[in-house]
A and B are shown apart, each in its own frame.
Chain A
Amino acid sequence: MAGQTEFVVRFAGEGGQGVVTAAEFVARAATAVGYHALTFATFPSQILGGPTWTQARVARDPVKSPGDAVDILVAFNDYAYQEHRVDVREGGMILLDPSVSPDLAAGERTIVIPFDELAKKTGESRAANMVVMGALSKLINMPLDYFKQFVSARFAGREKVITANHMGLDLGLAEMAETDAIADLGEPDKPGYRQSFIKGNDALSMGALAAGLNFYVGYPISPATPVLLYMERNLVGEGKFAYQASSEIEAIGAILGAGFAGKKAMTATSGPGFTLMGEGLGLAWMAEIPLVVIDVQRGGPATGLPTKTEQSDLMQALSPAHGDSRFPVIAPGSVEECFQAGAAALNWAERYQGPVIVLSEHSLAERAQNIRKPDLGAVKAERRSVYTGSNGYLRYEAAELSPMPIPGGPGAYVANGSEHDPYGDTTHLPRHHIHMTERRFGKLALLGDGSYESKRADASAVLMPWGGSKGSGEEAYALLEAEGVEIGWRYTMFLNPLPPALLEELREKELVLVPELNYQGQFAGVLRSLGVKAEALTQYTGLPFKAGELAQRVKDRLGAGAKQAVKV
């Protein structure tokens, strides 16, 4: 399909074969010259080896999802070939390691390239990926110079490495002398604005730092570990603290203590750790301690699918603790929104003096993408209302939010996880439980400033994905629009509380279709409980939606709905 202005290349093999870095290399090199790209990765949960694959989608125009079909598959072993060949589109190409003996299906096109052998010729055995890139450049009709320039910039000052890698690129290209391109991106159209190339986890970290994060304690867990590693290296200096805890229980305890002591405190975890934090989160709600917990979702329950993506922690995010509570939840839907969500969560926590949950997910966390560089000037770091009066203060007396005393300053009180009276002493009296329950829920009204997206405001049916399904949803919506399907679009990353005006609009709709990666249709259920006629379009494969499939499911549902209407 020469002439198509985008391509998806997938690298599949064993962990440790350079598979992990290959997609990121393609994306970095392509975005450096002005294309748009994003990566998708899924790793085995083991240190070395195990089936791994990554892919990059590269295009002239901005892309929002990993892509539906594979144009070029690079298979480093037989398992990878057998496993992934079905995803290669008609007319696509498979590059194979010589260890693979293809049993060609009709129409399948393969080329065997001795990656490792050619790499050895360069004097740099790690140049196998460069051989792949050289071959790739021919298939996508991208000047080899683009890759060479990128290598030169990346390894500046290390001439031997540059020479070897350039040689690898040439050798790869030479292998393709007889092969035609299957895609042609055309000249890149470099955006006029400043860009960052960043992964979702790093964008979240940067957003939190931009809003003034100064205390981080975390525990390693896939796929949230990169946040811990970033903070340990960079949240260093006077008044800052980042550290690895001995468990998620210790991590939540530590950020509770720090939030109480006046810090802007955060942790990041995934499903199993999030479950362990439940009791501590209840304490944060009860004692009114500002803090942020990021749950980078993976498949669950229990250990589940540690390195796959899913959106199945929503119910738990809304109610992570026992008892009467409803937590603020922000779920970013793109790498750019990861930055915004990190900042917004810190601000919400300070503003309403309580815990805020950010729901990211594996596919976003590991997605490397070129985005418009986040504008630090646009982030307004909110400050906590701190008590400055004299001692004898009744911290919990007011009917709504009240200034918070900070240890070392005036207004000593007891922050209490037991139900308490205005001072903070334990009580079981009904009037205090009524007062405090209403006070805690009432504060959520301070968080009604969330923004949302709307297209075709009048349509009676709307598509409304959440979180990491936003990108696939947007691309599905574009397909539906192109076909003239009557459907509107709503989206927000502020899941609780929902922007009040959005909720009003949704209640007026005949049908709200919610694509989400879980079995139960969790967000659709939440919307129904709020009086919205919502239905889920679910998927629970551990992988993101494909835009084309999603568009078809929307059409099927709308068509079925229309038939039903006729019958009735």
Chain B
Amino acid sequence: MSAKNPEYDFKWCPGCGDFGVRRALEFAMQDYMVKYETPMANNVVVAGIGCSGNLVHLLEGEQPFGFHGIHGRALPISLGVKMGNPDLNVVVVAGDGDFLSIGMEHIAPQAARNLNVTTVVMDNGVYGLTKGQSSPTTEAEAVTSSTPYGKMEAAVNPLELYMAMGVSYVASGYSSKPRDLASYILQGMEHPGFSIVHVASPCTTYNDTYAQLKGNPSKGIEPMAWALPDDHDPTDRAQAQRVADRGGVPLGIVYHDTTRPAFEARISAIADRGEGKDVATLLSAFDL
């Protein structure tokens, strides 16, 4: 059940990383509203299909608008919402299967346009809702319900992919640190362009990676999550690329290109080209 709708019966499993991501998104939207004095109604959360997409029904407190669409197509829908009304603060929530498998074709075009939406990817390395199939970020050789002899594909490194596609803001985080995540999401909302906050969000049922993320230094197990060095400069592409290439789960803002205009700015810059293009004038161009 959700706080606002006792009849709603979808539940995340106990300990699911998505709880932390939800909290982080709530923080970020609240912070954004206070900072920019905008109403909650200006926030639109566009969700894909999967455990992650159900976040849009589980938000607590004052409700934003939501669009819970079809598998893999959250980005195209967000393109329409944002360009339909550029004043809206548009957030996409998606999972690794939704975003990096069926939906991957949509990342590069938004990056090329620098579409001004903020995407929060909940990466649990597995298809949870359909019960444990391998996803693009599942490790190679992993045995899952759909890879009985081990996964035969290499795992995708999402951060390298985003860098290669030209995403202008790339952050990486961990679902157990919602305050930090909220900060990355808020900065993504403030970034005038395409932002992705990629979050390691473990699935306690099919792919529980909490132990690996935290590691166990006393036993010599390096944590998968690692803090960016204090002097990391996200505006330096070469540094960002090295962070992305290293793998694991870096914690922080990996890349931030502040030099490109947002898509809506480019569109509004040609608004004057529409002068004299009222319907009557356009129709008269066909006069015989």
Residues of A within 8 A of B (CB): 31-32, 194-198, 202, 206, 209-210, 215, 217, 234-238, 240-241, 243, 245-247, 249-263, 265, 279-280, 282-283, 287, 370, 373-374, 376, 391, 405, 407-410, 412-418, 421, 423-427, 429
* Minimum distance in angstroms from A373 CB to a CB of chain B: 7
Docked Cα-Cα span, A236 to B278, in Å, equals 10
In the complex the two chains form, is B288's CB within 8 Å of A31's CB? yes
The residue of chain A having its C-beta at the shortest distance from the C-beta of B79 within the complex is A254
Question: Which residue of B41, B57, B79 contacts A407 across the interface (Cβ within 8 Å)?
Answer: B41
In the complex the two chains form, is B277's CB within 8 Å of A237's CB? yes
Which residues from chain B contact A252 at a C-beta distance below 8 Å?
Answer: 76
In the complex the two chains form, is A423's CB within 8 Å of B81's CB? no
Q: At the interface, yes or no: B227 with Cβ under 8 Å from chain A?
A: no
List 19 A-B pairs, Cβ < 8 Å: A196-B287, A206-B283, A210-B283, A236-B273, A249-B105, A250-B109, A254-B80, A256-B80, A257-B79, A257-B81, A257-B84, A287-B69, A370-B288, A408-B87, A412-B66, A414-B66, A424-B66, A424-B68, A429-B7
5 more A-B residue pairs beyond the given contacts A253-B79, A261-B88, A412-B65, with a C-beta to C-beta distance below 8 A: A253-B80, A256-B67, A257-B80, A391-B63, A408-B87
Residues of B within 8 A of A (CB): 2, 4-5, 7-10, 39-42, 44, 46, 54, 56-57, 62-70, 73, 75-85, 87-88, 105-106, 108-109, 267, 270-275, 277, 279-280, 282-283, 286-288
In the complex the two chains form, is B279's CB within 8 Å of A243's CB? no
* Minimum distance in angstroms from B40 CB to a CB of chain A: 7
Given contacts A249-B76, A254-B77, contact A196 B82 (CB under 8 A): no
Given contacts A197-B286, A215-B84, A414-B67, contact A210 B2 (CB under 8 A): no
In the complex the two chains form, is B287's CB within 8 Å of A407's CB? no
Given contacts A252-B76, A426-B57, A426-B68, contact A373 B283 (CB under 8 A): yes
In the complex the two chains form, is B64's CB within 8 Å of A412's CB? yes
In the complex the two chains form, is A259's CB within 8 Å of B80's CB? yes
Which residues from chain A contact B273 at a C-beta distance below 8 Å?
Answer: 236-237
Which residues from chain A contact B82 at a C-beta distance below 8 Å?
Answer: 257
Which residues from chain A contact B271 at a C-beta distance below 8 Å?
Answer: 236-238
Which residues from chain A contact B288 at a C-beta distance below 8 Å?
Answer: 31-32, 194-197, 370, 373
In the complex the two chains form, is A262's CB within 8 Å of B283's CB? no
Docked Cα-Cα span, A373 to B54, in Å, equals 51
Which residues from chain B contact A249 at a C-beta distance below 8 Å?
Answer: 73, 76, 105
Question: Which residue of B70, B76, B84 contacts A261 across the interface (Cβ within 8 Å)?
Answer: B84
* Minimum distance in angstroms from B44 CB to a CB of chain A: 5
Docked Cα-Cα span, A9 to B272, in Å, equals 43
Docked Cα-Cα span, A108 to B82, in Å, equals 64
Docked Cα-Cα span, A234 to B77, in Å, equals 23
Q: Tell me if A's interface is mostly helix, strand, loop or mixed.
A: mixed
The residue of chain B having its C-beta at the shortest distance from the C-beta of A405 within the complex is B65
Which residues from chain A contact B270 at a C-beta distance below 8 Å?
Answer: 236
6 closest A-B pairs (Cβ-Cβ)? A253-B76, A257-B80, A237-B274, A261-B84, A414-B66, A236-B274
In the complex the two chains form, is B80's CB within 8 Å of A261's CB? yes
In the complex the two chains form, is A407's CB within 8 Å of B85's CB? yes
Contacts between the two chains (Cβ within 8 Å), count: 204
In the complex the two chains form, is A287's CB within 8 Å of B279's CB? no
The residue of chain A having its C-beta at the shortest distance from the C-beta of B275 within the complex is A237
Which residues from chain B contact A245 at a C-beta distance below 8 Å?
Answer: 76, 79, 109
* Minimum distance in angstroms from B48 CB to a CB of chain A: 10
In the complex the two chains form, is B68's CB within 8 Å of A258's CB? no
The residue of chain A having its C-beta at the shortest distance from the C-beta of B264 within the complex is A241
Which residues from chain B contact A238 at a C-beta distance below 8 Å?
Answer: 271, 274
Which residues from chain B contact A413 at a C-beta distance below 8 Å?
Answer: 63, 65-66
The residue of chain B having its C-beta at the shortest distance from the C-beta of A217 within the complex is B80
Docked Cα-Cα span, A237 to B277, in Å, equals 9
In the complex the two chains form, is B287's CB within 8 Å of A194's CB? yes
Which residues from chain B contact A197 at a C-beta distance below 8 Å?
Answer: 286-288
Which residues from chain B contact A279 at a C-beta distance below 8 Å?
Answer: 70, 73
In the complex the two chains form, is A407's CB within 8 Å of B109's CB? no
Which residues from chain A contact B84 at a C-beta distance below 8 Å?
Answer: 215, 241, 257-263, 265
Docked Cα-Cα span, A202 to B282, in Å, equals 10
In the complex the two chains form, is A407's CB within 8 Å of B81's CB? yes
In the complex the two chains form, is B286's CB within 8 Å of A425's CB? no
Docked Cα-Cα span, A376 to B8, in Å, equals 48
Docked Cα-Cα span, A32 to B288, in Å, equals 6
Docked Cα-Cα span, A544 to B93, in Å, equals 49
Given contacts A196-B288, A410-B41, contact A426 B80 (CB under 8 A): no
Docked Cα-Cα span, A24 to B41, in Å, equals 52
In the complex the two chains form, is A234's CB within 8 Å of B282's CB? yes
Which residues from chain B contact A373 at a C-beta distance below 8 Å?
Answer: 283, 286-288
Docked Cα-Cα span, A423 to B63, in Å, equals 11
In the complex the two chains form, is A234's CB within 8 Å of B41's CB? no
Which residues from chain B contact A280 at a C-beta distance below 8 Å?
Answer: 70, 73
In the complex the two chains form, is A425's CB within 8 Å of B5's CB? yes
In the complex the two chains form, is A253's CB within 8 Å of B282's CB? no
In the complex the two chains form, is B57's CB within 8 Å of A414's CB? yes
Question: Which residue of B2, B40, B80 contacts A255 across the interface (Cβ within 8 Å)?
Answer: B80
Docked Cα-Cα span, A9 to B274, in Å, equals 39
Which residues from chain B contact A370 at a C-beta distance below 8 Å?
Answer: 288
Question: Which residue of A258, A259, A425, A427 contacts B2 across the interface (Cβ within 8 Å)?
Answer: A425
In the complex the two chains form, is A417's CB within 8 Å of B69's CB? yes
Docked Cα-Cα span, A328 to B76, in Å, equals 24
Which residues from chain B contact A236 at a C-beta distance below 8 Å?
Answer: 270-271, 273-274, 277
Given contacts A236-B270, A253-B79, A407-B44, contact A414 B68 (CB under 8 A): yes
Given contacts A195-B288, A237-B277, A250-B76, contact A260 B88 (CB under 8 A): no
In the complex the two chains form, is A196's CB within 8 Å of B67's CB? no
In the complex the two chains form, is A407's CB within 8 Å of B70's CB? no
Docked Cα-Cα span, A254 to B85, in Å, equals 12
Docked Cα-Cα span, A210 to B280, in Å, equals 8
Q: Which has the most chain A C-beta neighbours within 10 Å: B67, B82, B87?
A: B67
Docked Cα-Cα span, A264 to B282, in Å, equals 18
The residue of chain B having its C-beta at the shortest distance from the C-beta of A377 within the complex is B280
* Minimum distance in angstroms from A509 CB to a CB of chain B: 39
Docked Cα-Cα span, A486 to B280, in Å, equals 44
In the complex the two chains form, is B68's CB within 8 Å of A210's CB? no
* Minimum distance in angstroms from A53 CB to a CB of chain B: 25
Which residues from chain A contact B73 at a C-beta distance below 8 Å?
Answer: 249, 253, 279-280
Docked Cα-Cα span, A347 to B234, in Å, equals 49
Which residues from chain A contact B65 at a C-beta distance below 8 Å?
Answer: 405, 407, 412-415
Docked Cα-Cα span, A261 to B66, in Å, equals 11
Given contacts A209-B279, A247-B105, A257-B46, contact A408 B41 (CB under 8 A): yes
In the complex the two chains form, is A376's CB within 8 Å of B277's CB? no
The residue of chain B having its C-beta at the shortest distance from the C-beta of A256 within the complex is B77
Which residues from chain A contact B66 at a C-beta distance below 8 Å?
Answer: 412-416, 424
